[in-house]
Amino acid sequence: MVVPPDAGHEVEVLLRTGPFHAALRAAVERSGLTLERLRDRLDRRGIHVSLSTLSYWRLGRSRPERADSLRAVQAIETILGLPRHSLEALLGPPRPRGRWVSKQQQARQYGRMLEPAQSLAETVEALVGPSDGNLRLWSQDDAATVDAHGVIRSVHTRQVLRAVAGHPDRYLAVYCADADTPPDALGAEAVANCRLGRVRRHPGAPVIAAELLFDHTLRAGQTHLLEYRFTITENGAQAHDYRRAFRYPVGTYVLSVRFTEPRLPVRCYALGQPGVDAPLVHGDELPLTPGRMLHVTAKDVQPGVVGIGWDWS
């Protein structure tokens, strides 16, 4: 097979933009392998996929969804010399069927705790996948930075996740900025022990969701430590609080907020929502340290919201 000279560039572009079948087709063509030879190499790895199935995947007539099919995709990435999860990340969530429908409903719980509810649900449901219900937070640390204009510039998150079922290989991170923040002002970064997958911004609301891909799948009971960061450009809106919503219980949570002089808040206080349907309440006032930082801690957190609010002069 003759490989076009620009095939490498085409593959790189399609791995970023998709769709899956086009990226698969281009990667196979670049490799010089026929589908028969690709199937044979899969067979030697103990992964059996029919020639017709590979053809359907390449043509976009069907897509891998089941666990054995996803293992085949991971093997194809290795055989074709592609980055781990690069093809798999283009697949998106499985089509709703059976018990999966109830998992999609869980994504809407975000909208019962944070605003804008409808925009948040729409953004999250575009990315929610099989790993969503198979992970729980063991611990989490959020560090938000507020600039001299009162804008939250970044939120750095450190998490320990624990697999409770299945074979999760990614985590869906979500951030809602203040109402007047342009959607394109939001950015996502993978900092440690993860790789950025698909990123979705709502076209009309300041909501962003990002897939964080692991380097390996987790077994039930296994934990994974990762770090990521959401950023906001200079076009962000002035903030009056930072809230973290939890859909599932979490062991320990630490939230810190650092302010940049010369502008500092005149009053700071804890925020809490003890249940999904409970109202948001103001808690104790929080002292601002000489380092312009304040924090709250929580243990055995139940589904709801934990946050910090502040008043400007």
The pLDDT assigned to 109 comes to 52
Please give the structure tokens belonging to residue 25: 């087709």
Looking at this protein, which amino acid is placed at residue 194?
C
pLDDT confidence of residue 88: 77
Rounded CA-CA distance 299/155 in Å is: 21
Pairing of strands 170-176, 207-213: antiparallel
pLDDT of 40 reads 95
* Upstream peptide bond of 290 is cis (omega within 30 degrees of 0): no
pLDDT of res. 83: 86
pLDDT of residue 96: 43
Taking CA atoms, 294 is separated from 143, 146, 254, 268, in Å, by: 10, 12, 11, 8
This prediction has a pTM of 0.64
> CATH number of the domain at 125-311, please?
2.60.40
- Strands of 219-292, DSSP E: 223-232, 241-246, 250-259, 267-273, 281-285
Per-residue model confidence (pLDDT) at position 212: 95
Cβ-Cβ contacts under 8 Å for 313 (sequence gap 6 or more):
265, 266
Identity of the amino acid at 115: E
Single-letter amino acid, residue 49:
V
pLDDT at position 180 is 85
What pLDDT is recorded for position 243? Answer: 92
Give residue 8's pLDDT: 66
Q: What are the tens digits of pLDDT across the range 78-98?
A: 999 998 778 877 775 444 443
Q: Give the per-residue pLDDT at 90.
A: 74
User: pLDDT under 70 in the chain at which residues?
Assistant: 1-8, 92-118, 126, 130, 275-278
Domain ranges of the chain: 7-90, 125-311
pLDDT of residue 116: 57
